């Protein structure tokens, strides 16, 4: 049987960067990109050695790459560096010392601004609190916090003393937190009394109390006061941050860390069973985050940069904390929901802080489309000059809306493909160079040798859908799965010898542009035709009556699998047989009869992870009518699941 994924969607629109954008861009010529990319692949040691040389080293490295123990890469061997010093100390002696590092807005409307000098001081004091509790280099510290400045400080304070941080998204349950604390054997948890979400208090301390119950090895719970709700207190274990602050000074030299020392763990849910603690190194990770931030977001000193992700997700690690701060950028950080107190909250923030670079997820863009253009049009978005997306393929309809309504048709859009495992952006347009095509993440970043292969490792031809592969090591690649070497090798390195397997399907078009087809576990096989769920979804969403769609396969005696589509109709449109027929017809014209759903289920919401990814595995079980055995701990809204399950009732 063929393992190819059929290519069904065609997109002919092209968007070259404007002359105005190119005039000031860091990189503005195709030749420049081609030359740099070629060097990064052919001579990675000199390329990355030069980039790494821009960071402040405590002790220089003597070798750029050691791949002799593949898949265990060692980058910048022999060097010593500290991530918090890269993000903070290096700016103190420059014109950036008084520059705003973090411009924060709480959901209730309170604000706080920290300059690089101020953030440095806060991080040093924070680090001294950790030290005063005996926390030291190599210890694991769980961080479970709302999106407040202290979250960034906690991350950087751990990095400063060489403790390994493990950020757990503040919306996760006590159980999810408990599993992650246990897997990493964390000795401390940094949290807050609560955080604001949609006008309500998320009681984080309560979850922590449940999550650490019975774990004697957790000797410290450090609590930041945010929402002032009542909390239970263990006088041995718990300490208030604001009280501890009074007892420490602001002098804390950064711990010299070996390039390959672990900087952090971050858990991702695997396709089965227990979440994987992805391990990232210090220097390689920083070099990746630093360089991608600079080139993908074309960062200039005047920019006000806003990434809307949560720090509990890799996007927040790389593009709220490490990447932007290593570059001395001004970063906006927002605590709350995008529609609190009104659906225009994000645009109000863009206007107020004159955001120039804005990075969000397709799922958020589709929500804005659904809420209506009037909430966008009320605000002045003329400060924006560059837009980005991440998390899943962006359907061309959402891309065009983003381009027109948010970007005012003047901002390039960078559709960035990457993973927790890649550490930093791997496939992306460069905004001053790349002519974009809506829905394509375009071309590999420097150092990324991306190819589309079949199961046997043969490279496929133009427009043949297959498996995405990365054929060379890159600095910010994962260094392992915490405590599970076997799973690390099996999951990522066993498909083809020496090549990294990300688990995504892709095709390369005639211009060498990459189109990500979604997770290969999500591919549907109808009568021997392998279809990407993403493409069928994209066809559905291109119908005017649809805002969102998720497509899965259910077993079918005749065709192997049959397509089931879960569809959210646009505002004011209700489910009807007529709509059903119209959608079937639409998919038929867009893709072909073959891709017509056997069943369409209308729903007002889809089950998603907290980072906005549709949980197709759950939908697959629902479509097949079986009880789910999947890990549901990362689901955003259980009510959605319950509703879908009771569909037939
Ligand atoms: C950053 C992040 C990784 C998975 C990845 C893909 C999907 C991410 C895009 C995308 C198409 C994109 N890390 N993905 N970005 N698919 N186009 N621009 O999302 O570890 O949480 O997820 O997300 O399937 O493998 S993650």
Cβ neighbours of residue 538 closer than 8 Å, sequence gap 6 or more: 9, 393, 395, 396, 397, 439
CA proximity to 277, closest of 70, 485, 71, 418: 485
**Residue of 317, 427, 516 with the most ligand 1 atoms within 8 Å of its CB, for mutation:** 516
| Residue 550 pLDDT greater than 90, yes or no | yes
**Residue of 269, 311, 419 with the most ligand 1 atoms within 8 Å of its CB, for mutation:** 419
SS3 175: helix
CA of 390 to the centre of ligand 1 (A): 6
Residue 637's pLDDT is 67
CA of 79 to the centre of ligand 1 (A): 31
- 257 forms beta bridges with 81
Residues 563 and 595: their CA atoms lie apart, in Å, by 7
- Ligand 1 atom 4: residue of nearest CA: 419
Residue 629 pLDDT class (50, 70, 90 cuts): low
595 secondary structure, DSSP code: G
Residue 11's pLDDT is 82
- Ligand 1 atom 13: residue of nearest CA: 419
Closest ligand 1 atom to Cα of 416 = 18
CA of 549 to the centre of ligand 1 (A): 18
Domain edges within the chain? 19-84+299-515, 85-255, 522-645
The binding-site residues of ligand 1, defined as CB within 6 angstroms of any ligand atom, are 268, 314-315, 390-393, 415-420, 441, 502-504, 516, 519, 611
Q: What is the pTM of this model?
A: 0.91
Is 522-645 the same fold as 85-255?
no
CB 267, CB 168: distance < 8 Å: yes
Per residue in 155-170, pLDDT tens? 999 999 999 999 999 9
Q: With pLDDT > 70 as the criterion, what percentage of the chain qualifies? A: 95
CA of 391 to the centre of ligand 1 (A): 4
Residues 522 and 607: their CA atoms lie apart, in Å, by 15
Q: At the top level of CATH, which class does the domain 522-645 belong to?
A: alpha beta
Residue 144 pLDDT class (50, 70, 90 cuts): very high
Full DSSP string of 119-156: HHHHHHHHHHHHHHTT--TT-EEEEE--SSHHHHHHHH
Structurally, at CATH architecture level, domain 19-84+299-515 sits in 3-Layer(aba) Sandwich (3.40)
- Ligand 1 atom 17: residue of nearest CA: 393
Per residue in 328-359, pLDDT tens? 999 999 999 999 999 999 999 999 999 999 99
Residue 632 pLDDT class (50, 70, 90 cuts): low
CB 7, CB 506: distance < 8 Å: no
CA angle 392, 398, 402 (to 5 degrees): 110
Closest ligand 1 atom to Cα of 427 = 18
Residue 630's pLDDT is 62
DSSP-H helix ranges across 239-322: 241-244, 283-296, 314-316
Helix (H) / strand (E) element for 102: namely: strand 100-105
Cβ neighbours of residue 439 closer than 8 Å, sequence gap 6 or more: 9, 11, 393, 394, 395, 396, 399, 415, 515, 538
CA of 119 to the centre of ligand 1 (A): 31
CB 612, CB 586: distance < 8 Å: no
- Ligand 1 atom 2: residue of nearest CA: 419
CA proximity to 208, closest of 182, 177, 236: 177
CA of 282 to the centre of ligand 1 (A): 22
Which comes out higher in pLDDT, residue 603 or 440?
Answer: 440
Residue 549's pLDDT is 94
Closest ligand 1 atom to Cα of 441 = 18
CA of 57 to the centre of ligand 1 (A): 31
Q: Return the percent helix, strand and coil in the chain, to nearest 5.
A: 35, 25, 45
SS3 396: helix
| Residue 636 pLDDT greater than 70, yes or no | no
Per residue in 574-588, pLDDT tens? 888 899 899 999 998
Distances in whole angstroms, Cα of residue 477 to Cα of each of 102, 451, 470, 473, 569: 27, 17, 11, 7, 40
Closest ligand 1 atom to Cα of 516 = 11
pLDDT, average across residues 186-192: 98
CA of 30 to the centre of ligand 1 (A): 26
CA of 150 to the centre of ligand 1 (A): 27
What is the separation, in whole angstroms, between the first and last Cα of the chain? 39
Distance between alpha carbon 171 and the CA centroid of its chain, in Å? 16
Helix (H) / strand (E) element for 264: namely: strand 262-268
Closest ligand 1 atom to Cα of 389 = 18
CA of 419 to the centre of ligand 1 (A): 5
SS3 397: helix
CA of 444 to the centre of ligand 1 (A): 14
- Ligand 1 atom 10: residue of nearest CA: 392
Residue 526 pLDDT class (50, 70, 90 cuts): confident
Closest ligand 1 atom to Cα of 428 = 18
SS3 91: helix
CB 559, CB 528: distance < 8 Å: no
Residues 202 and 229: their CA atoms lie apart, in Å, by 10
pLDDT, average across residues 104-114: 98
Which comes out higher in pLDDT, residue 249 or 576?
Answer: 249
**Residue of 391, 429, 445, 516 with the most ligand 1 atoms within 8 Å of its CB, for mutation:** 391
CA of 336 to the centre of ligand 1 (A): 23
CB 206, CB 231: distance < 8 Å: yes
Please identify which residue in the block is written with the tokens 């927040």. 316
| Residue 628 pLDDT greater than 80, yes or no | no
Residue 335's pLDDT is 97
Q: What mean pLDDT is reported for the chain?
A: 93
- Ligand 1 atom 16: residue of nearest CA: 392
- Ligand 1 atom 19: residue of nearest CA: 391
Closest ligand 1 atom to Cα of 519 = 24
Which comes out higher in pLDDT, residue 626 or 456?
Answer: 456
- Ligand 1 atom 3: residue of nearest CA: 419
Full DSSP string of 532-558: -HHHHHHHHHTSTTEEEEEEEEEEETT
CA of 59 to the centre of ligand 1 (A): 35
Residues 568 and 583: their CA atoms lie apart, in Å, by 12
| Residue 272 pLDDT greater than 60, yes or no | no
| Residue 107 pLDDT greater than 70, yes or no | yes
DSSP-H helix ranges across 480-525: 485-493
Residue 648 pLDDT class (50, 70, 90 cuts): very low
CA of 266 to the centre of ligand 1 (A): 15
Out of 62-76, 172-186, 635-649, give the one with best mean pLDDT. Answer: 62-76
**Residue of 390, 399, 609, 615 with the most ligand 1 atoms within 8 Å of its CB, for mutation:** 390
Residues 371 and 376: their CA atoms lie apart, in Å, by 9
Residue 8's pLDDT is 66
Assigned token pair, 259:
């390039």
Residue 558's pLDDT is 81
Per residue in 190-240, pLDDT tens? 999 999 999 999 999 999 999 999 999 999 999 999 999 999 999 999 999
Quote the radius of gyration of the chain (alpha carbons, Å): 24
CA of 576 to the centre of ligand 1 (A): 34
Instruction: Give me the phi and psi of 517, to 5 degrees please.
Output: -100, 10
| Torsion over CA: 429, 414, 43, 22 (sign) | positive
Q: With pLDDT > 90 as the criterion, what percentage of the chain qualifies? A: 81
- Ligand 1 atom 7: residue of nearest CA: 392
CA of 26 to the centre of ligand 1 (A): 26
CATH number of 85-255: 3.40.50.12780
**Residue of 392, 395, 503, 613 with the most ligand 1 atoms within 8 Å of its CB, for mutation:** 392
- Ligand 1 atom 8: residue of nearest CA: 391
CA of 441 to the centre of ligand 1 (A): 11
Residue 532 pLDDT class (50, 70, 90 cuts): confident
Residue 649 pLDDT class (50, 70, 90 cuts): very low
- Ligand 1 atom 18: residue of nearest CA: 417
Assigned token pair, 124:
């040093």
| Residue 141 pLDDT greater than 90, yes or no | yes
Distance between alpha carbon 190 and the CA centroid of its chain, in Å? 22
Residue 633 pLDDT class (50, 70, 90 cuts): low
């Amino acid at each position: 049987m063929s393992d190819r994924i059929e290519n069904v969607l065609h997109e002919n629109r092209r968007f070259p960067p404007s002359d105005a954008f190119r005039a000031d861009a860091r990189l503005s010529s195709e030749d420049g990109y081609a030359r740099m990319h070629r060097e990064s692949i052919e001579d990675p040691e000199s390329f990355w050695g030069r980039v790494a040389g821009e960071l402040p080293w405590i002790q220089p490295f003597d070798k750029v790459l050691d791949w002799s123990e593949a898949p265990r890469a060692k980058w910048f061997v022999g060097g010593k560096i500290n991530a918090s010093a890269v993000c903070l100390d290096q700016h103190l002696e420059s014109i950036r010392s008084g520059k705003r590092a973090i411009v924060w807005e709480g959901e209730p409307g309170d604000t706080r601004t920290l300059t690089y000098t101020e953030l440095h001081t806060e991080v040093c004091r924070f680090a001294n609190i950790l030290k005063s509790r005996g926390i030291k280099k190599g210890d694991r510290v769980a961080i479970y916090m709302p999106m407040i400045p202290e979250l960034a400080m906690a991350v950087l304070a751990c990095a400063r003393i060489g403790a390994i941080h493990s950020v757990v998204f503040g919306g996760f349950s006590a159980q999810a937190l408990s599993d992650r604390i246990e897997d990493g054997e964390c000795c401390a948890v940094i949290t807050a009394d609560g955080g604001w979400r949609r006008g309500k208090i998320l009681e984080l301390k309560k979850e922590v109390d449940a999550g650490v119950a019975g774990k004697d090895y957790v000797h410290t719970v450090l609590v930041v006061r945010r929402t002032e709700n009542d909390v239970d207190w263990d006088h041995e274990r718990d300490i208030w941050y604001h009280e501890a602050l009074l007892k420490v000074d602001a002098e804390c030299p950064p711990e010299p860390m070996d390039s390959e020392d672990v900087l952090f763990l971050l858990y991702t849910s695997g396709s089965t069973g227990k979440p994987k603690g992805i391990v990232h190194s210090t220097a390689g990770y920083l070099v990746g985050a630093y360089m991608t931030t600079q080139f993908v977001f074309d960062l200039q000193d005047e920019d006000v940069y806003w990434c809307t992700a949560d720090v509990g997700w890799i996007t927040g690690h790389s593009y709220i904390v490490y990447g932007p701060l290593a570059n001395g950028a001004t970063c906006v950080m927002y605590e709350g929901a995008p529609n609190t107190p009104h659906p225009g909250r994000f645009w109000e923030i863009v206007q107020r802080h004159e955001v120039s670079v804005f990075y969000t997820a397709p799922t958020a863009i589709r929500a804005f489309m659904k809420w209506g253009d009037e909430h966008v049009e009320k605000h002045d978005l003329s400060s924006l000059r560059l837009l980005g997306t991440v998390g899943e393929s962006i359907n061309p309809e959402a891309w065009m809306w983003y381009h027109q309504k948010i970007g005012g048709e003047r901002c390039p859009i960078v559709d960035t493909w990457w993973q927790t495992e890649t550490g930093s952006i791997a496939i992306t347009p460069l905004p001053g160079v790349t002519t974009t095509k809506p829905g394509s993440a375009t071309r590999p970043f420097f150092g990324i040798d991306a190819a589309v292969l079949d199961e046997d490792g043969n490279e496929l031809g133009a427009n043949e859908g297959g498996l995405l592969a990365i054929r060379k090591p890159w600095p910010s690649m994962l260094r392992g799965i915490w405590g599970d070497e076997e799973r690390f090798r099996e999951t990522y390195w066993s498909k083809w010898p020496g090549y990294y397997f990300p688990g995504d399907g892709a095709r390369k078009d005639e211009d060498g542009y990459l189109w990500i087809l979604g997770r290969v576990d999500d591919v549907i096989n109808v009568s021997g035709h392998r279809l990407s769920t993403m493409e069928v979804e994209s066809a559905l969403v291109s119908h005017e009556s649809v805002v969102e769609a998720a497509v899965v396969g259910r077993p079918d005696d005749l065709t192997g699998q049959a397509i089931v589509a879960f569809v959210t109709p646009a505002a004011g449109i209700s489910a009807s047989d007529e709509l059903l027929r119209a959608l079937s017809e639409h998919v038929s014209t867009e893709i072909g009869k073959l891709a017509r759903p056997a069943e369409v289920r209308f729903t007002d919401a889809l089950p998603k992870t907290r980072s906005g990814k549709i949980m197709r595995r759950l939908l697959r079980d629902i479509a097949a009518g079986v009880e789910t055995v999947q890990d549901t701990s990362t689901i955003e809204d259980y009510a959605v699941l319950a509703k879908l399950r009771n569909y037939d009732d």
